[in-house]
Amino acid sequence: MRLLSILSAILVVCALYLVLLQRPALLTFAYGEGIDQALAVARGEAEPSEAVQVALGTVDETPEDADTSDEAEAAPTVAPDAETRAVRVVARQSTAQMVDSAVRLRGQTEAARRVTLLSETASTVMSAPLPRGSLIEAGQLLCELDPGTRETALAEARARLAEAEAAKPTAAATLAEAEARLEEAQINLTASEKLSEGGFASTTTLAARRAAVRAAEAGVAAAEAGLTSTDAGLQSAQAAVAAAEKEIERLQIHAPFAGILEDDTAELGAFLSVGGHCATVIALDPIRLTGYLPETEVERVEIGAPAGARLTASGREVMGQVTFLSRSADATTRTFKVEISVPNPELAIREGQTAAIAIEAEGVLAHFLPQSALTLNDEGTLGVRLVGAEGLTEFAPVAVLRDQVEGIWLTGLPEEADVIVIGQEYVIAGVPVIASFESPAEATQ
C-alpha cells in the first residue's frame, strides 16, 4: 500500500509538471506533431503548429475573409426578461384539513393505590408469610403478632373498670345523703330564726342551727368531690380498657384494600419493632397513567377528557379519562403533571410500563407537508416559503402540530397555499420563481 501511494504521488507530480511547465509541448503532442517535434518545441528549437498556437491563444483564428470593418453592424444585445432571472422551484398546492389535534405525550403506568404496612407495636410474628404477587382481598390478615401479656393487661383494665363502675353508685348515694342533711339543717335554721324573733329561742340555739347548716354544706361538697373522683376513675378505667383492646388489635395487620402483594410478608418468628415492615400492597385496577404537559399544551386539557394510550412494549391500546391535572408546574422542567385512570380488571397492565398517551382536544385546520419543506428566515423563525402573487416568494411562519414518518402537520398557513418543497433554500422573500407543481401522485408519496 505504501508503494502504491508513492507511485501515485510521482504520477501526480509528473502530470502537474507537464500541464504547468511543458504546456506547449503537451499541446503539440496532443495535436499530432509527434514526440520529436514536441521535444523540439519544448527545447525552443522549433515553433508549434498553427493549431497549437490557436489553442494557446497566440494566433487569431478569425478568417482572413471575415468582415472586420467599422461599418459592420454589431450584434444586437437582448436584455434578459423577468423569466430569465427567476429561480425554478418545485411547489405543492396544499389545502388545509381538519385534524384531530390530540395532545400527545409520553408517560408511564403507576399503581392507583400503594401502601406499606408497618407494625404499630413490638412483638414476634406468629403467622406464616404470604408470597409476593399474591392476590389479596380487603381486610385479609397479612401479619399476626404474638400477644404476650397483653391479654392479661386487658383483663386487669377491665377489672378496674368494673370496680370504678361499682363505686359510682356509692358516691352518688353519699352525695344524696349529704344533700338531705343540708336540707334538714336549713329547715331547722329557718325555724330557729322565727322562734328567735318571738323570743322563744336562745341565741345559742340559733348559732348551733347555723353551724349545722355549714356542716351539711361541707358534707355536700365532699360528696360531690367524691362523685367527681369516682367519675374520673371510671373514665380512666375505660381508657385503660380501650388502650389494652387497641394494643391487641395491633397484633393483627390486615390489608386496607384489595390488591397485590408487592413483596413477601414478614417471616414467621421475625421480631417486628414499632415501624417494622409487614408488607406492601398495590392496587392495579384501575391503573393510572401519568405524564407531564408543557406550558403550551396544558390549557387544551380538561378534567374528564377522554384519553387513550398505546403501551410501547406490547402495542396494546387502552382507553380512559383524565382524572387529575396539576395546578403547579414542576420547578425544574416547568411542566404540569396529568393523570389518566384506565380500567384494568384482568391486571394485564403492570406498573412502570412506558406508554404513548393521546388526550382528546378540539380539532384544528392544518396542512400536511414533507418535513424537508421547513426552513428558517434571517431572524431564525421556523416556517415555509410560498409562491405568492405575481410569482414572488413569500415566507410564512408556522407551528408544528404533529409529526409522522410520512410528513408533518403544520398550522399558521392560509387554507389554500402553494408551498415550495424543493428549492426553498435558494430563494428569499421577494425573489421571482418559476414553480413546477407536483402531481397528486407525487404529493402523496
One domain, residues 226 and 263: no
384 or 168: which carries more pLDDT confidence? 384
Does residue 61 sit within a domain? no
Q: Final residue of a domain: which of 206, 228, 249? A: 249
One domain, residues 34 and 107: no
Whole-number pLDDT of residue 443: 55
Whole-number pLDDT of residue 29: 52
240 or 4: which carries more pLDDT confidence? 240
One domain, residues 391 and 345: no
Residues 6+ apart with CB under 8 A from 174: 223, 226, 227
Whole-number pLDDT of residue 76: 37
Q: Final residue of a domain: which of 218, 249, 280? A: 249
Whole-number pLDDT of residue 9: 78
- CB half-sphere exposure, 296, CA atoms < 13 A: 6
Reported as a single tens digit per residue, the pLDDT across 127-157 is 999 999 999 999 999 999 999 999 999 999 9
DSSP per-residue string spanning 262-312: SSPPPPTT-EE-TT-EEEEEEEEEEEEEEEEE-TTTGGG--TT-EEEEEET
Does residue 114 sit within a domain? yes
Q: Final residue of a domain: which of 227, 249, 271? A: 249
Whole-number pLDDT of residue 52: 44
Reported as a single tens digit per residue, the pLDDT across 81-126 is 444 478 999 999 999 988 877 888 999 999 999 999 999 999 999 9
One domain, residues 49 and 123: no
Q: Is the pLDDT of residue 27 over 60?
A: no
Does residue 77 sit within a domain? no
One domain, residues 112 and 208: no
Rounded CA-CA distance 425/431 in Å is: 12
Whole-number pLDDT of residue 360: 86
Would you place residue 2 in the very low, low, confident or very high pLDDT band (cuts 50, 70, 90)? Answer: low
Q: How many domains does the chain have?
A: 4
Residue 386 structural domain: 88-99+364-444
One domain, residues 129 and 187: no
CATH of the domain at 110: 2.40.30.170
Q: Which three cell numbers stand for residue 139?
A: 381486610
One domain, residues 222 and 129: no
DSSP per-residue string spanning 349-415: SPTT-EEEEEE----EEEEEE-GGG-EE-TT--EEEEEE-GGGBEEEEE-EEEEE-SS-EEEESS-S
Reported as a single tens digit per residue, the pLDDT across 326-338 is 999 998 989 999 9
Indicate the pTM of the whole model: 0.54
Q: Is the pLDDT of residue 35 over 50?
A: no
Mean pLDDT of the 420-444 span: 81
One domain, residues 14 and 94: no
Per residue in 24-51, is it b (16+ CB within 10 Å) or e — as a string? bbbbbbebebeeebbebbbeeeeebbeb
Cα distances from 77 to residues 80, 86, 153, 297, in angstroms, run 9, 20, 121, 61
